[in-house]
Amino acid sequence: MIPEALAGKRLFITGSTGFLGTALVERLLRGVPDAQLTLLIRPGRRASAAQRARRELFRNDAFERLRADRGSKEFDAEVDRRVSVVGGDVSVDGLGLDDAGRAALAAADIVIHSAAAVSFDSPIDAAVEINLLGPSRIAQVLNELGVAPHYIAVSTCYVAGSRRGNALEEPVDASPFYVDVDWRAEVAGARRARADADAESRSAESLRKFRRDARSELGAAGGPLLAAKTEQLRQRWVDDRLIEAGRARAASVGFPDAYAFTKALAEVALAETHGAVPTTILRPSIIESALAEPSPGWIRGFRMAEPVIISYARGLLRDFPGVPEGVVDVIPVDLVVAGIIAVAAAEANEPRPDPTVAPPVFQVASGSANPLRYRQLVDLVSTWFSEHPLYDSMGQPIKVPQWSFPGRGRVEGQLRRTLKVITKAENTLNALPLRGRQAELAANLEEKRELAERAKGYVELYGKYAECEAIYGVQRLLALWDRVEHADREQFCFDPRVIAWDDYVRNTHLPSVVRNARVRTSPGGRGGESRTDRLRRQVLAPERQFAAFDLENTLIASNVVASYAWLASRQLDGRDRARFVARTLAEGPALLRLDKADRSDFLRYFYRRYKDAPVEQLQADSAEMLSELILTRSFPAALRRVREHRALGHRTVLITGALDFVIDPLRPLFDDVVAAEMTTRDGRYTGELVAAPPTGESRAQALFDYAAEHGFDPAEGVAYADSTSDLPMLEAVGFPVAVNPETRLAALARKRGWLVEQFDRAPGFRHALLPLAPAHRSLAQPSPSPK
Specify the pLDDT at position 780. 39
Residue 469 β-bridge partners: 164
| Res. 442 pLDDT band, cuts 50 70 90 | low
What is the model's pLDDT at position 75? 93
The partner residues of 150 in beta bridges, in order of sequence, read 110
Answer yes or no: are the C-beta atoms of 695 and 713 closer than 8 Å: no
Say if CB 75 and CB 67 are below 8 A apart. Answer: yes
Asked if the model's pLDDT at residue 779 lies above 50, the reply is: no
DSSP strand E in 511-594: where?
Answer: 546-549
- Name the residue among 330, 331, 310, 329 with its Cα closest to residue 320: 310
Which of 103-107, 311-315, 769-773 has the highest mean predicted lDDT (pLDDT)? 103-107
Q: Is the pLDDT of residue 495 over 60?
A: yes
pLDDT for the residue numbered 151: 96
Please give the single-letter amino acid code of residue 359. Answer: P
Mean pLDDT highest for which of 284-293, 303-312, 353-362, 551-560?
284-293
- Please state which of the ranges 257-271, 502-516, 615-629, 667-681 shows the lowest mean pLDDT: 615-629
Average pLDDT over residues 52-56: 92
The pLDDT-based confidence of 410 (bands split at 50, 70, 90) is: confident
479 pLDDT band, cuts 50/70/90, is: very high
293, amino acid identity: E
The amino acid sitting at 643 is R
pTM of model > 0.85: no
Query: Measured between alpha carbons, how far is 653 from 710 in angstroms, rounded to an integer?
Result: 12
Give residue 786's pLDDT band: very low, low, confident or very high (50, 70, 90): very low
Helices (H), 540-573: 560-569
How much is the mean pLDDT over the chain?
87
pLDDT digits (tens, 9 = 90+) for 358-397: 899 999 999 999 999 988 998 999 999 999 998 887 788 9
Mean pLDDT calculated for residue range 599-607: 89
Query: Could you tell me the end-to-end alpha-carbon distance of the chain, in angstroms, rounded to an integer?
Result: 93
Mean pLDDT (whole number) for 400-415: 75
Q: How many CB atoms lie within 10 A of CB 362?
A: 25
Regarding predicted confidence, which is higher, 786 or 30? 30
Confidence of residue 654 (pLDDT cuts 50, 70, 90): very high
Lowest-confidence pick of 200-209, 404-413, 608-617: 404-413
pLDDT digit string, tens, across residues 117-154: 887 788 999 999 999 999 999 999 999 999 999 999 99
Coil/strand/helix, residue 77? helix
Q: Which residues of 707-729 are buried (b: 16+ CB within 10 A; e: fewer)?
A: beeeebebebbbbbbbbbbbbbb
Tell me what the mean pLDDT of segment 233-252 comes to: 94
Q: What is the mean pLDDT of residues 95-122?
A: 92
Cα distance between residue 621 and residue 776, in whole Å: 10
For the stretch 444-462, pLDDT in tens is: 666 677 777 777 777 776 7
Whether 782 has a pLDDT exceeding 50, the answer reads no
pLDDT digit string, tens, across residues 678-716: 999 999 999 999 988 888 888 888 999 999 999 999 999
Task: Name the more confident of 204 and 525.
Answer: 204
pLDDT at 192: 96
Percent of the chain with pLDDT over 90: 55
Nearest-10 crossing angle of helices 599-607, 696-710: 90
Strands 164-167 and 717-721: unpaired
- Residue 354, classified by CB atoms within 10 Å of its CB into exposed (0-12), middle (13-18) or buried (19+), is exposed
Predicted pLDDT at 781: 44
C-alpha 687/C-alpha 622 separation (Å) is: 17
Residue 36 has pLDDT above 90, yes or no: yes
Output the pLDDT for position 355.
63
pLDDT band at 77 (very low <50, low <70, confident <90, very high): very high
Q: How far is CA 704 from CA 393, 708, 761, in A?
A: 38, 6, 30
Residues 138 and 232: beta-carbon distance below 8 Å: no
**So what's the pLDDT on residue 219?**
72
Q: Rounded distance, CA 547 to CA 749, Å?
A: 18
